[in-house]
Amino acid sequence: MGKKHLTHTHHLLPRHMGGTDDESNLIRDISLTRHAMFHFTNWQLWGKPEDLLAWKGLAGQKTKEEILLEILSLAGKKGSRVTNSRHAEAKKEWGRWGGKNGPRDVKVANGKNLQEWHRKNPELHALADARRAEACRKTVKIRDVDTGETAVFPSVKAAAEFLGIHQSMISNVLSGRNRQTCGFTAEFLS
């Protein structure tokens, strides 16, 4: 009785680029080596980190655990279209106030670091602090990603204390910098 060779199925347009499991998008019964080379070629053509990870995993250069950690890291960096657009808007708003994430010309005009900007613009600094404090007092809905259970809290501080995490982690989700934190998503209730 001969040893059965392991074959793979490859997506012509990878799922991470919007490909489907439709038969017209699949190449069936290819060898491990060819599957790895497909991903290596896609990585060279398009520069997508997902293809690089797939190639390294198929080629045995990375363990399954290393690949999962990198995939989770990529997911947090990429975010969703909605999250990325919210984040872009938040950066524009912060740039208007001359904060550290503002455009280069704003940083140079207002000083090289945030403390100097605070010293030079006490009225704007007080206004920004008041807006930040007001946002932290808004009612927050937290949802567990795994179970789907939700809980409502009177403030970001109360939610952070309940979850046992720092307020900034929830604020990063609320501002759109992250999609989730510690397995939870968050949104303001208005």
74 and 85 in a single domain? The answer is no
Nearest C-alpha neighbor of 86 from the set 182, 187, 158, 5: 187
95 and 117 in a single domain? The answer is yes
Considering the chain, what is the average pLDDT of its residues?
Answer: 76
- 23 located within any domain: yes
Total of domains in the chain: 3
**Can you name the residues that pair with 144 across neighbouring β-strands?**
184
Q: What value does the mean pLDDT take over residues 49-63?
A: 86
- 2 located within any domain: no
27 and 59 in a single domain? The answer is yes
Query: Which of 78, 100, 127 is where one domain is finished?
Result: 78
Query: Which of 35, 57, 78 is where one domain is finished?
Result: 78
pLDDT at 21: 86
71 and 16 in a single domain? The answer is yes
- 19 located within any domain: yes
Q: Could you tell me the CATH number of the domain that includes residue 142?
A: 1.10.10.10
Which of the pair, 83 or 100, is modelled with greater confidence? 83
What is the number of alpha carbons within 13 Å of residue 80 lying toward its C-beta?
6
Q: How far, CA to CA in Å, does 51 sit from each of 34, 74, 184?
A: 14, 12, 28
85 and 64 in a single domain? The answer is no
62 and 14 in a single domain? The answer is yes
**Can you name the residues that pair with 151 across neighbouring β-strands?**
142
**Can you name the residues that pair with 141 across neighbouring β-strands?**
152, 187
Lowest mean pLDDT among 26-35, 82-91, 158-167: 82-91
105 and 71 in a single domain? The answer is no
- 71 located within any domain: yes
74 and 13 in a single domain? The answer is yes
pLDDT band, very low/low/confident/very high, at 74 (cuts 50, 70, 90): confident
Query: Which of 55, 78, 101 is where one domain is finished?
Result: 78
Do 10 and 27 contact (CB within 8 A), yes or no? yes
pLDDT at 99: 47
- 56 located within any domain: yes
State the residue for tokens 């995939």: 71
128 and 141 in a single domain? The answer is no
pLDDT band, very low/low/confident/very high, at 2 (cuts 50, 70, 90): very low
For 129, the domain range is 81-136
Q: What value does the mean pLDDT take over residues 140-146?
A: 87
60 and 109 in a single domain? The answer is no
pLDDT at 182: 82
93 and 146 in a single domain? The answer is no
Reply yes or no on whether the pLDDT at 102 is more than 80.
no
Give the 3-state secondary structure of 116-131: HHHHHCHHHHHHHHHH
pLDDT at 53: 86
pTM of the model: 0.39
